[in-house]
Chain A
Amino acid sequence: MVDEAQFRKMAEMITEMRTTAEGLHAMADTFPAVKRNTSRMLASLKMLSINVCDLDDLARTE
């Protein structure tokens, strides 16, 4: 089972990964391999957000 502190840490790491992927994606207009692969990464990161960050964000705002 995942404890609250671990869950929070996961959410932070996912957010960092998303920021990195978004940055890379934004730089890559002339580099299709990076552009398209980071698009895919961002889709997977969205799944991580759904599984972790959505609930963590809710807990933070309560």
Chain B
Amino acid sequence: MAQDQTYWNPVIETLPREKLRALQLKKFKRIFAWTYEHSRFHRALYAQAGVRPEDIRSFEDIRAVPKVEKSMMRDIQRKDPFPYGDALCVPLEEVTEFRQTSGTTGQPVYQPDTWQDWEWWAECWACILWAQGYRPSDRVFLPFGYNIFVAFWAAHYAAEKLGCEVVPGGVLDTKARILKIQELRATAMMATPTYVLGMADTARKMGIDPSSLTIRRITCAGEPGAGIPSTKKRMQDAWGAKVFDHAGATEIGAWSFECSEQPFGMHVNEGMFLVEIEDIDTGEIIEGPGRRGKMVITAFDRQAQPCVRFDSKDVIEWDPEPCSCGRTFRLIKGGVVGRADDITKVKGVLLAPSAIEEVVRSIEGLGDEYEVIVDKIGDSDRITLKIELLPDARGKQRAVEAALVDQLRLKTNLRYDLQFHDYGQLPRYEVKAKRFKDLRKDH
């Protein structure tokens, strides 16, 4: 029966690498030609670089195609054809979906999609959910706002496509969502890691052990967390469920997924996307495993506002090992390990904020919430870490602090000013957290 099958697409997901690469090249040429033909913005960019569709014959040729950054999209939008501007590749009347980015890095970027693009979004997510074990027998609870951000919209349609029963938990508050999960015996849900942990906390305050609920599968997206081992463990322990990571973006699509083997990494959906990894300093393409770089990504089938060699700023590296799931889609080791614009130098040491989270959430006795503040005292950097001591760890603060100092030094090579707070004193975030604050003007 279809639902006994391991793969959503058993042919493409297990295609030998050389055939997959040939498919990718063919599809890149197709989307590049489409974009060149239909987007005034992109054609001007390509004309300036002297690159035409007929020039693309190999992966090396692809590197000559200029990259697009988010800031470039901001600059061309809010103009005719309103509000998308010159990157719109279809008549305005074919746009059926409007979404926008969250605006955390600047003015939001608008994203138009045709109905075909929306189907494509659901198709990308269908591959993800099937790989994570979702099946028609699942009752999937979606506790998100169903609003102007793409968030889990496409996941909703994908779950329907798979034949799952979908429960939209949009308007309900957290307590009502927990009660609804309990009432309906939902078997799966999707949320940001911050919200997954927040829901668990709320459930416990309601006198409900979240691991006693029927949730067995949780897909996380929207922020790092499910790819950070200690955060994943906290979520899995709290809910008694398997937690899976996914990375996607409004401007890109749903490009990666952790499969049911949970390989400490994520597959790139290489049938739908071309991922290139670029050295952050030199711009050289990193072909092999073992070196981190910045992701440049192309979505092969998105038409209204194509994503062709988009500089995502996500930092990733290829995993040297194939996955035991049997997919030939490559793994990125540890998932998205940070963002090129988040990784910063503190006291001369390169620091990825995710490394701090990994340490904090690996220490017993510390709460889930934390805050990092980087500022300057005179000319010297200072990094302050605020953490919460769990109520049952009172009296053990010295031991907890010793473990924390030790691990922070090992994992980040830095010394921190530590501030312990009582449980519940630090800010709580509803959906996405902003825990790392860099107050230095010249960082």
Contact = CB atoms under 8 A, between A and B. Distances in A.
A46 B123 CA distance: 10
A55 B271 CA distance: 10
A5 B261 CA distance: 31
Given A2-B10, A55-B11, A43 B23 contact: no
A47 B23 contact: no
A55 B27 CA distance: 10
Scoring A40, A50, A52, A54 by chain B CB atoms within 10 A of each residue's CB, the highest score goes to: A50
Interface string A30-62: 000000000110111011001110110110001
Interface in B1-32: 9-12, 15, 19, 22-23, 26-27
Contact of B11 (A7, A39, A46, A57): A7
Contacts of B438: none
B115 interface: yes
Contacts of B115: 39-40, 43
B100 interface: no
A43 B116 contact: yes
B26 A43 contact: no
Q: Which of A7, A42, A46 has the most CB of B within 10 A?
A: A46
B116 A46 contact: yes
Interface residues of B, number: 20
Contacts of B119: 43-44, 46-47
Contacts of A50: 120, 123, 271-272, 301
B185 to A, nearest CB: 31
A38 B11 CA distance: 28
A55 B120 contact: no
B23 A55 contact: yes
Contacts of B27: 54
B10 A1 contact: yes
Nearest to B26: A58
Main secondary structure of the interface of A (DSSP, over half): helix
Nearest to B300: A50
A15 to B, nearest CB: 17
A44 B120 CA distance: 9
Contacts of B118: 43
Nearest to B8: A51
B298 to A, nearest CB: 15
Contacts of A52: 11
B26 A2 contact: no
Given A39-B115, A47-B119, A47-B123, A2 B22 contact: no
A51 B9 CA distance: 7
A50 B19 CA distance: 15
A40 B117 CA distance: 11
B13 to A, nearest CB: 10
Contacts of B10: 1-2
Nearest to B127: A51
B15 A55 contact: yes
A58 B12 contact: no
B270 to A, nearest CB: 12
Interface in B74-128: 114-116, 118-120, 123
Nearest to A61: B26
Interface in B268-296: 271-272
Interface of B: 9-12, 15, 19, 22-23, 26-27, 114-116, 118-120, 123, 271-272, 301
26 contacts: A2-B10, A2-B11, A7-B11, A39-B115, A42-B116, A43-B115, A43-B119, A44-B119, A46-B119, A47-B120, A47-B123, A50-B272, A50-B301, A51-B9, A51-B12, A51-B123, A52-B11, A54-B23, A54-B27, A55-B11, A55-B12, A55-B15, A55-B19, A58-B19, A58-B23, A58-B26
**What are the nearest 9 A-B pairs in CB distance?**
A43-B116, A43-B119, A47-B123, A43-B115, A51-B9, A46-B116, A47-B119, A58-B26, A58-B23
Given A47-B119, A51-B9, A51-B12, 8 more contacts: A2-B10, A42-B116, A43-B114, A43-B116, A43-B118, A46-B119, A47-B123, A54-B23
